[in-house]
Amino acid sequence: MAHTSQFCTFYLDGLLFGVELQGVQEVIRNLEMTPVPLAPGVVRGLINLRGQIVTAVDLRKRLELQPLPADAHPVNVVVRSEDGAVSLLVDEIGDVAEVEQSSFERAPETLTGPVRAMILGVYKMDGRLLHVLDKEKACYVGEPEAAAAAAAR
Amino acid sequence: MDEIVNDFLIESNENLDRLDQELVKLESEPSSKELLASIFRTIHTIKGSCGFLGFTRLEKVAHAGESLLSRLRDGLLTLNVEITSGLLAMVDAVRHMLGEIQATEHDGEDDYPELREELARLQGSNGVPAASPPAAVFSPAVFSSEEAPSSKEVNIAVEVPLVVTAVSPSAAGPPQILAAKPEAVALPAKAVSGAEGKPRRPSSGKLGALLVERGSLTAQGLALAVQKQEGGDQRPLGEILLGLGLCQAQEIQETQQILDSRDRESGTETIRVGVNVLDRLMNLVGELVLARNQLLQVSSNTQDPGFQAVSQRLNLIATELQGEVMKTRMQPIVTIWNKFPRTVRDLSQSCGKQVRLEMEGQDTELDRTIIEAIKDPLTHLVRNSMDHGIETPEARRASGKDGTGILKLRAFHEGGQVNIEISDDGAGLNSDRIRQKAVERGLISAQQSAAMADRDVFNLIFLPGFSTAEKITNVSGRGVGMDVVKTNVEKIGGLVDVHSTPGRGTTVRVKIPLTLAIIPALIVTCSGDRFAIPQVNLLELVRLEAEASEKGIERVHGVPVYRLRGRLLPLVYLNRELQLPEQDLDDDGVVNIVVLQADGRQFGLIVDEINDTEEIVVKPLRKQLKTVKTFAGSTIMGDGRVALILDVMGLAQRANVIAELREDHALGEKAVAAATMEKRRYLLFAGPGDSRMAVPLDTLARLEELPASQVERAGTHWVAQYRGQILPLVNLEFALQERRRYRQQSKFAASESGAPLQVLVCNYQGRAVGVVVEQILDIVEDAAEVKYPASRPGVLYSTIIQEKVTELIDIPAILSSAGLDSAPGLAVTSAAEAGS
């Protein structure tokens, strides 16, 4: 049997993304979200995950994609990061994909900008490409906008 | 790491802390055999364990200390400063090596030859050379302290020959020979302990000591019985005492019971629990509290009485459980203070000062996290008092004080907070010097400094970069520290304040919350989201109805302010600060102002709605959000949603409430002082003969009307019972007349007519005093600029208030002339009551 790895897949703006299954804690829908004023823009808010307070990152925003329509309910993909659990908000959850190592390819040089650092590469699947997300980088929310706003004042 | 080694480290570190204290204590009572025995035993235990675990270098050092101690114990040496310092150095060395073991599992390369030499030299420093085997000195009394009987004790007994070898003149020779021995001896010692066979009665010493302590037995009687026991009497001490007729059987029985219960307490009833287990437990209780809050919310919406009863019970149990679990995390403050005797001793040595350390309220308990957080600030304050506060013995005697300074630590609970006071009876803060230094360092301007009250001047010492120390010592005076103390204390929601009387000393008071894990908080709503405001920051709530809000909120060049009791309170809109969408104001136009305090500055926070106060479980924000300074953490509300906890300090900084203060602290003070000079609130009243009189309102505590029937007589004073205290009354009419007539003051004129007395209650020298006036007219705000010299004693000056000439009464002068200068004792008690 060829060397394979498992990915938890999800959709963002029509694209198929995946993070390594081992790093995923759980997938949850419909959680109340408390916004955090002055926090970096990619922080959508805080969720109560059975008593644990988890930061939810707007992955569309993080990946510089179009914002999700206001009436849509994103799904929380809770991953274990170096700084504890973080929820990545995705449009829709996909299947667990088992992919062969041999089908991996790095992102083309033409993909530039900050997004490049977050996408490790792609797996060539039947009919589509699975974008592999760097979990740690995706969870990083950067400096708060408050600082920038204060500077601008 | 090896579990045995780990246990050894934990135990040894605890033992070392105790050694520090005991050595310092021993210095003050060098003849205490109990202390010596305990110290000896501790060192011996460490030495024995490291021999067993193969830490030979550590063992050598411990051994050198032990040898010196054994000479002390045997009375061949008497303790002096030098020996104490040597022993403390040994403790430090052992501590250092333990640290090494912790880090590397190896006791390091250094085996401290100089230290060991020094210790060996000290052995021969005073007293007679070692001679007879110490067995004769070896009375059970030595073991009379609380240590449990075990092989340890036997161990020491067997160890004696070894100790003798150590103290014999050859001891100064190569220590390696000695170092090899304990291992060889210590192990057989255990074997011997069983084989020795002689039944030990370890409690006999304790029983005897306790009997003496309880007054059932004289020390001589005990000595006699012990002698008999040593002489070969196999009976237990109690029986011997009975036999000698020195004690009642009942007394012995009772005492034995006390001992037994003590043994139980110290032995089986405590277990060691890892801190992480307690933390986890606390987290779980936090969860439970949250679940409880949710359940209560659900149950309030149902009609089912059974369900409601059960949730009420759960509520009670959860509250109780929370309290108990909090208790497990509580530690007495003495866990920090323990280090101070040693600190004080070392510093007295190095600064050439004599200081006595007094502690009060050692058992005051605080949450573990807080204990950790205040350890450094307190240490710094103690060092500061030692270095700057207390003078040298010569200087103290020159100013008529005892050569030995007193450093006092006091801790007590008050209003859900813990107060810690560090006071010294030193020179006190020199407000002029502080002013001068602050101006020199550009912290304030010369005019600002002149306008500041002493109390505010003292608080300048908490500014960064401030130090008045003439020379920089290695103790303190580098200008970092007091500001760090303040920041650290404020970080955990505490307050620092300093009081000082020149020549009499300085007191620094630290107020801190009991715990950080579960705190009471006010829940407010803003733009549809809820926020929690920690109760410690909260001063009051102001609600402005529609009409009042239009008039009430004024603007200083566009910046909103509110007049709160005559002072301008800067207003901060929470939604604007947090960049939240502005909610359509309800048509009622009500404005809710939460008056908050941050860094000694008040400001009003305008929120949409004030909900309720609630006990919230603080959950720290993740690292990703730590940079958002306006929030101190988050919590989960009763409905399961997350709410953010506002960091009032951060919010104030963001809203520039504090930044402004930092720059213009003194300016603000001056402005306030100027403002109060220009416009002050006065109480107007009618004095004798229809004269108009006034006093500044802020010098009064309150205004009262007392029925004439309440006036009683105590000696030469008229008094009334007031709030459970005796309120001395002074009739202003008589007080303003000449003094000799004052003494004959008759019944109050007003009381004869039966009309109630109008009393101005003010605090005078720490107690409440009432001044009876004819009639209270009005409270006015006036500049009272015109000053005309007073025409009679008891009047400050005449002025014009509301276009009428008014005499400004000097209340302290009147009270003083009325013979109300308080007796010291009285002042102290009532001041304490007033403070509580």
Helices (H), B411-491: 431-440, 446-451, 454-458, 482-491
Helix (H, G, I), strand (E, B) or coil at B450: helix
Report residue B798: phi and psi, to 5°: -100, 150
Q: Which of A36, A140, A149 sits opposite B644 (nearest CB)?
A: A36
Position with higher pLDDT, B816 vs B355: B355
In a domain, B672, yes or no: no
Q: Give the chain B residue nearest A84 (alpha carbons).
A: B622
**Continuous segment of H or E residues that includes residue B48:** helix B33-53
- This complex has an ipTM of 0.82
* Chain A residues within 8 A of B631 when measuring between CB atoms: 36
CB pairs under 8 A between A and B: 73
Sign of CA dihedral B664, B665, B667, B673: positive
User: Could you list the residue range(s) of the whole structural domain that residue A137 is in?
Assistant: 4-152
pLDDT score recorded for residue B658: 61
Specify the DSSP class assigned to residue B141.
G
- Give how far A117 is from chain B: nearest CA, Å: 19
* Chain B residues within 8 A of A40 when measuring between CB atoms: 624
Q: Do B630 and A38 touch (CB under 8 A)?
A: yes
- Give how far B628 is from chain A: nearest CA, Å: 6
**Cα dihedral angle (B516, B522, B524, B530), rounded to 10 degrees?**
30
At B184, which CATH number?
Answer: 1.20.120.160
Helix (H, G, I), strand (E, B) or coil at B338: coil
Tokens for B150, please give them. Answer: 């075990």
- As a whole number of angstroms, the distance between CA A88 and CA A122 comes to 19
Q: Which residues of A lie inside 8 Å of B (Cβ-Cβ)? A: 32, 34-40, 43, 45-48, 51, 53, 55, 83-84, 86, 139-141, 143-144, 146-147, 149-150
Domain boundary among the residues B222, B247, B271 is at B271
Q: Give the chain A residue nearest B622 (alpha carbons).
A: A83
Q: Give the chain A residue nearest B526 (alpha carbons).
A: A37
Q: Do A83 and B287 touch (CB under 8 A)?
A: no
Residue B515 has pLDDT above 60, yes or no: yes
B667 and B659 Cβ atoms separated by less than 8 Å: no
Confidence of residue B465 (pLDDT cuts 50, 70, 90): low
Least Cα distance to B80 among B40, B17, B122, B142 occurs for: B122
pLDDT score recorded for residue B188: 35
A21 and A96 Cβ atoms separated by less than 8 Å: yes
Q: Do B287 and A51 touch (CB under 8 A)?
A: yes
Position with higher pLDDT, B766 vs B666: B766
* Chain A residues within 8 A of B629 when measuring between CB atoms: 146
Residue B652 has pLDDT above 60, yes or no: yes
pLDDT score recorded for residue B143: 37
Cβ neighbours of A126 (radius 10 Å)? 5
Position with higher pLDDT, B445 vs A110: A110
**B443 and B479 housed in the same domain:** yes
pLDDT score recorded for residue B76: 77
pLDDT score recorded for residue B752: 53
* Chain A residues within 8 A of B290 when measuring between CB atoms: 51
Distance of CA B677 to the CA centre of its chain: 37
Provide DSSP, chain A.
Answer: ---EEEEEEEEETTEEEEEEGGGEEEEE-----B--TTS-TTEEEEEEETTEEEEEEEHHHHTTPPPPPTT---EEEEEEETTEEEEEEESEEEEEEEEEGGGEEEPPTT--SHHHHHEEEEEEETTEEEEEE-HHHHH---S-HHHHHHHH-
Q: Which of B290, B625, B628 sits opposite A51 (nearest CB)?
A: B290
- Give how far B286 is from chain A: nearest CA, Å: 9
Distances (CA, A) of B324 to B269, B282, B327, B329, B504: 17, 10, 5, 9, 42
* Chain A residues within 8 A of B623 when measuring between CB atoms: 83
Q: Do A32 and B578 touch (CB under 8 A)?
A: no
Mean of the per-residue pLDDT values for chain B? 73
**B433 and B317 housed in the same domain:** no
Confidence of residue B125 (pLDDT cuts 50, 70, 90): low
Sign of CA dihedral A19, A20, A24, A27: positive
Specify the DSSP class assigned to residue B581.
P
In a domain, B289, yes or no: yes
**Stretch B816-821: mean pLDDT, rounded?**
72
* Chain A residues within 8 A of B579 when measuring between CB atoms: 37-38, 149
Buried residues in A85-113 as b, exposed as e (16+ CB within 10 A): bbbbbbbebbeebebeeeeeeebeeeeee
Residue B796 has pLDDT above 90, yes or no: no
For chain A, the distance separating the N- and C-terminal CA atoms, rounded to the nearest angstrom, is: 61
**B99 and B174 housed in the same domain:** yes
**Mean pLDDT lowest among B52-66, B590-604, B634-648, B670-684:** B670-684
Q: Which of A37, A38, A83 sits opposite B624 (nearest CB)?
A: A83
Residue B6 has pLDDT above 60, yes or no: yes
Q: Do A48 and B636 touch (CB under 8 A)?
A: yes
Of these ranges, B127-136, B473-482, B753-762, the one predicted with the greatest mean pLDDT is B753-762
Helix (H, G, I), strand (E, B) or coil at B35: helix
At B694, which CATH number?
Answer: 2.40.50.180
B388 and B469 Cβ atoms separated by less than 8 Å: yes
**B261 and B367 housed in the same domain:** no
In a domain, B478, yes or no: yes
**Stretch B753-762: mean pLDDT, rounded?**
77
Q: Give the chain B residue nearest A51 (alpha carbons).
A: B287
Residue B522 has pLDDT above 90, yes or no: yes
Pairing relation of β-strands B601-607 and B567-573?
A: parallel
A99 and A7 Cβ atoms separated by less than 8 Å: yes
- Give how far B312 is from chain A: nearest CA, Å: 22
B693 and B797 Cβ atoms separated by less than 8 Å: no
- As a whole number of angstroms, the distance between CA B581 and CA B603 comes to 22
Helix (H, G, I), strand (E, B) or coil at B32: coil
Domain boundary among the residues B304, B331, B358 is at B331
* Chain B residues within 8 A of A37 when measuring between CB atoms: 529, 578-580, 630, 644
**Stretch B787-798: mean pLDDT, rounded?**
76
- Give how far A84 is from chain B: nearest CA, Å: 8
* Chain A residues within 8 A of B630 when measuring between CB atoms: 37-38, 146
Residue B441 has pLDDT above 80, yes or no: no
Cβ neighbours of B571 (radius 10 Å)? 22
Tokens for B310, please give them. Answer: 């059960």
- Give how far B283 is from chain A: nearest CA, Å: 10
The contacts of residue B758 (CB under 8 Å, 6+ apart) are B685, B703, B705, B750, B772, B773, B774, B775, B776
pLDDT score recorded for residue B498: 86
Q: Do B579 and A35 touch (CB under 8 A)?
A: no
Helix (H, G, I), strand (E, B) or coil at B811: helix
The contacts of residue A41 (CB under 8 Å, 6+ apart) are A58, A61, A145
- Give how far B591 is from chain A: nearest CA, Å: 22
User: Could you list the residue range(s) of the whole structural domain that residue B749 is in?
Assistant: 679-835
Tokens for B437, please give them. Answer: 């230094």
**Stretch B278-296: mean pLDDT, rounded?**
81
Express each pLDDT in B24-62 by its tens digit: 888 777 777 778 888 888 888 888 787 777 788 888 888
Tokens for B656, please give them. Answer: 């520039």
**B748 and B626 housed in the same domain:** no
Specify the DSSP class assigned to residue B129.
P
Tokens for B129, please give them. Answer: 């050379």
Residue B438 has pLDDT above 70, yes or no: yes
**B122 and B184 housed in the same domain:** yes
Q: Do B578 and A38 touch (CB under 8 A)?
A: yes
pLDDT score recorded for residue A123: 92
Confidence of residue B582 (pLDDT cuts 50, 70, 90): confident
Express each pLDDT in A94-108 by its tens digit: 999 998 888 898 888
pLDDT score recorded for residue B318: 86
Secondary structure of B487-533 as H, E, C letters? HHHHHCCCEEEEEEECCCEEEEEEEEECCCCEEEEEEEEECCEEEEE
The contacts of residue B75 (CB under 8 Å, 6+ apart) are B137
Tokens for B275, please give them. Answer: 């801190």
Report residue B20: phi and psi, to 5°: -50, -50
pLDDT score recorded for residue B233: 67
Q: Give the chain B residue nearest A35 (alpha carbons).
A: B529
Position with higher pLDDT, B623 vs B832: B623
- As a whole number of angstroms, the distance between CA B676 and CA B697 comes to 11
Give the number of C-alpha atoms closer than 13 A to the C-alpha of residue B85, restricted to the C-beta side.
Answer: 11
Pairing relation of β-strands B609-617 and B518-526?
A: antiparallel
**Stretch B356-375: mean pLDDT, rounded?**
84
Specify the DSSP class assigned to residue B148.
P
Position with higher pLDDT, B702 vs A79: A79
Q: Which of A34, A38, A48 sits opposite B628 (nearest CB)?
A: A38
Using CB atoms within 10 A of its CB, is residue B40 exposed (0-12), middle (13-18) or buried (19+)? buried
What percent of chain B is modeled with pLDDT above 70?
Answer: 75
Q: What total number of domains does chain A contain?
A: 1
Helices (H), B267-361: 275-300, 305-329, 334-337, 340-351
Express each pLDDT in B616-651 by its tens digit: 878 777 777 777 778 888 888 877 788 999 988 888
pLDDT score recorded for residue B244: 72
- As a whole number of angstroms, the distance between CA B568 and CA B657 comes to 13
- Give how far A5 is from chain B: nearest CA, Å: 29
Q: Give the chain B residue nearest A82 (alpha carbons).
A: B623
At A28, which CATH number?
Answer: 2.40.50.180
In a domain, B486, yes or no: yes
Distance of CA B455 to the CA centre of its chain: 21
The contacts of residue B471 (CB under 8 Å, 6+ apart) are B477
Tokens for B133, please give them. Answer: 């085997």
- As a whole number of angstroms, the distance between CA B556 and CA B562 comes to 10
**B502 and B384 housed in the same domain:** yes
What percent of chain B is modeled with pLDDT above 90?
Answer: 3
**B69 and B159 housed in the same domain:** yes
Tokens for B348, please give them. Answer: 């007295």
Q: Which of A39, A48, A51 sits opposite B625 (nearest CB)?
A: A39
Confidence of residue B477 (pLDDT cuts 50, 70, 90): very low
Tokens for B516, please give them. Answer: 């950080």
- As a whole number of angstroms, the distance between CA B52 and CA B182 comes to 9
Q: What total number of domains does chain B contain?
A: 6
Residue B481 has pLDDT above 80, yes or no: no
Helix (H, G, I), strand (E, B) or coil at B149: coil
Q: Do B642 and A53 touch (CB under 8 A)?
A: yes
**B216 and B281 housed in the same domain:** no
- As a whole number of angstroms, the distance between CA A77 and CA A65 comes to 18
**Stretch A129-146: mean pLDDT, rounded?**
77
In a domain, B670, yes or no: no
For the entire predicted model, the pTM comes to 0.47
| Preferred mutation among B622, B645, B656 to probe A, highest tally of A CBs within 10 A | B622
- Give how far A48 is from chain B: nearest CA, Å: 6
* Chain B residues within 8 A of A31 when measuring between CB atoms: none
**Stretch B362-373: mean pLDDT, rounded?**
82
* Chain B residues within 8 A of A35 when measuring between CB atoms: 529
**B509 and B545 housed in the same domain:** no
Of these ranges, A3-7, B74-78, B253-257, the one predicted with the greatest mean pLDDT is A3-7
Q: Which of B623, B629, B636 sits opposite A53 (nearest CB)?
A: B636
**B322 and B342 housed in the same domain:** no
**B294 and B417 housed in the same domain:** no
Q: Do A43 and B625 touch (CB under 8 A)?
A: yes
Express each pLDDT in B389-405 by its tens digit: 888 888 888 888 888 88
What percent of chain A is modeled with pLDDT above 70?
Answer: 91
